[in-house]
């Protein structure tokens, strides 16, 4: 709609210029004819006096038409420029709001996904096998818990691994011991996810760490959730260990940012991103994410858009989902389509 308005304005301007140019050429010929007629009337003497009067009037009419043509061209050009400006602003506002809404949708989808992860960690921490391993730490209990975690992972393919650590921070059970053999026996007492998980208030509480790489899990990018495993699985029980679950971040996030509803014409010039609270790029539609790029986002509110050079930057702050407040992430869409392409 907005493109059509601008194209119509450009077309009106073009046709008007062409037609006025035709009028100017006709008036030029009329003036030449008038001048020649005056010359001929002069040569004719008294017999040409009446014809000379007509010739002069033709010249005067031609001058008036030329003046009117110039005035018309000026006024049409002015009003066409106003239409073009209004159309460009309308197109900018429409596109900016649309992309900002898409950016919000991106961050909402990922937060709904991660909300489920927060539910998983709190639920699985009450599993009898998980509680038994953390509470008793016998070889038999730990082996049973590892089997239980492996069973969970066969159904929940979005996870790289699930770990149970005792109160000292020693990993005593994992779900993918064959794939990540170094995990078992690791001391994670100094890891943020362990310390924050152990410090959770009760069984309804959980901890989440920002996206990072885990060297034990093949240096993969993970979103890590944790909570305390409590004695006898009671919500208010004493912490006897920590359950850590490692969400396979990169492929899941990539599918979300690449799945945004853009037209085929928009995709080559549009980059969809997820940014953390520090504006570091944690997912991008155009290339693999290295977790080292910081995007120069300049938000002025929870959702909006602004022009940056020849581009348009649109963003939306996470609103959170249910009991998951989010981590201050942004959905961000950068469009570099030049306005001149609509001509």
Domain of 334, CATH number, reads: 3.30.450
Please work out, in degrees rounded to the nearest 5, the angle formed at the alpha carbon of residue 307 by the alpha carbons of 303 and 313. 45
- pLDDT for res 171: 98
Residue 276 structure tokens: 């953390």
> Number of folded domains in the chain?
3
The DSSP bridge partners found for residue 280 are 294
pLDDT cut 90: percent of the chain above it: 66
Last residue of a domain, one of 228, 252, 276: 252
Domain match, 222 and 331 both: no
Last residue of a domain, one of 68, 90, 112: 90
Domain match, 244 and 328 both: no
- Residue, of 80 and 264, whose pLDDT is higher: 264
- Residue, of 26 and 137, whose pLDDT is higher: 137
Would residue 185 count as lying in a domain? Answer: yes
Domain match, 141 and 237 both: yes
Residue 143 structure tokens: 């082996």
Would residue 232 count as lying in a domain? Answer: yes
Domain of 142, CATH number, reads: 3.30.450.20
pLDDT at 4 over 70: no
49 Rama class: left (phi>0) / alpha (psi -120 to 50) / beta? alpha
pLDDT in tens, 77-120: 666 667 667 667 777 888 899 999 999 999 999 999 999 999 99
Would residue 273 count as lying in a domain? Answer: yes
Domain match, 306 and 196 both: no
Domain match, 165 and 248 both: yes
Distance CA 77, CA 15 (A): 11
Would residue 64 count as lying in a domain? Answer: yes
pLDDT in tens, 212-241: 999 999 999 999 999 999 999 999 999 999
- pLDDT for res 190: 97
> What is the phi/psi pair of residue 273, to 5°?
-135, 160
Would residue 105 count as lying in a domain? Answer: no
- Residue, of 154 and 323, whose pLDDT is higher: 154
pLDDT at 10 over 90: no
Interacting residues of 158 by C-beta distance below 8 A, sequence separation 6+? 247, 248, 252
Q: Average pLDDT in the 3-27 region?
A: 71
Distance CA 103, CA 228 (A): 34
Domain match, 168 and 248 both: yes
Domain span including residue 333: 258-342
Would residue 110 count as lying in a domain? Answer: no
Domain match, 197 and 282 both: no
Q: Per residue in 260-290, is it b (16+ CB within 10 Å) or e — as a string?
A: bebeeeeeeebbbbbbbeebbbbbbbeeebe
- pLDDT for res 325: 85
Domain match, 16 and 71 both: yes
Q: Average pLDDT in the 189-218 region?
A: 96
The answer to whether 248 and 214 have CB atoms below 8 angstroms apart is: no
Please work out, in degrees rounded to the nearest 5, the angle formed at the alpha carbon of residue 20 by the alpha carbons of 25 and 58. 50
pLDDT at 25 over 80: no
Domain match, 129 and 185 both: yes
Domain of 33, CATH number, reads: 1.10.287.950
């Amino acid at each position: 709609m907005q493109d059509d308005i601008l194209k119509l304005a450009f077309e009106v301007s073009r046709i008007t210029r062409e037609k006025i140019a035709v009028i100017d050429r006709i008036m030029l010929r009329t003036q030449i004819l008038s001048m020649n007629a005056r010359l001929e009337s002069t040569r004719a003497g008294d017999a040409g006096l009446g014809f000379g009067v007509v010739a002069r009037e033709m010249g005067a009419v031609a001058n008036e038409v030329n003046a009117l043509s110039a005035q018309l061209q000026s006024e049409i050009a002015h009003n066409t420029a106003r239409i073009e400006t209004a159309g460009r602003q309308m197109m900018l506002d429409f596109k900016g709001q649309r992309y900002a809404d898409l950016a919000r949708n991106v961050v909402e989808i990922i937060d709904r996904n991660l909300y489920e992860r927060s539910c998983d960690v709190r639920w699985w921490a009450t599993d009898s096998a998980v509680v038994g391993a953390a509470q008793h730490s016998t070889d038999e209990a730990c082996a049973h818990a590892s089997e239980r975690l492996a069973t969970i992972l066969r159904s929940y393919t979005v996870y790289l691994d699930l770990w149970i650590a005792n109160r000292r921070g020693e990993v005593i059970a994992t779900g993918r011991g064959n794939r990540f053999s170094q995990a078992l026996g690791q001391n994670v007492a100094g890891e943020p996810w362990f310390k924050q998980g152990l410090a959770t208030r009760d069984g309804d509480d959980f901890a989440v760490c920002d996206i990072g790489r885990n060297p034990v899990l093949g240096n993969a990018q993970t979103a890590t959730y944790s909570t305390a495993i409590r004695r006898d699985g009671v919500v208010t029980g004493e912490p006897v260990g920590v359950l850590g679950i490692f969400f396979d971040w990169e492929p899941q996030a990539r599918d979300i940012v690449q799945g945004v509803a853009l037209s085929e014409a928009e995709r080559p010039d549009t980059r969809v991103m997820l940014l953390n609270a520090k504006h570091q790029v944690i997912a991008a539609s155009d290339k693999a994410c290295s977790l080292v790029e910081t995007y120069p986002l300049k938000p002025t509110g929870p959702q909006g858009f602004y022009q940056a050079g020849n581009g348009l930057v649109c963003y939306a702050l996470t609103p959170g989902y249910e009991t998951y407040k989010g981590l201050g992430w942004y959905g961000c869409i950068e469009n570099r389509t030049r306005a001149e392409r609509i001509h």
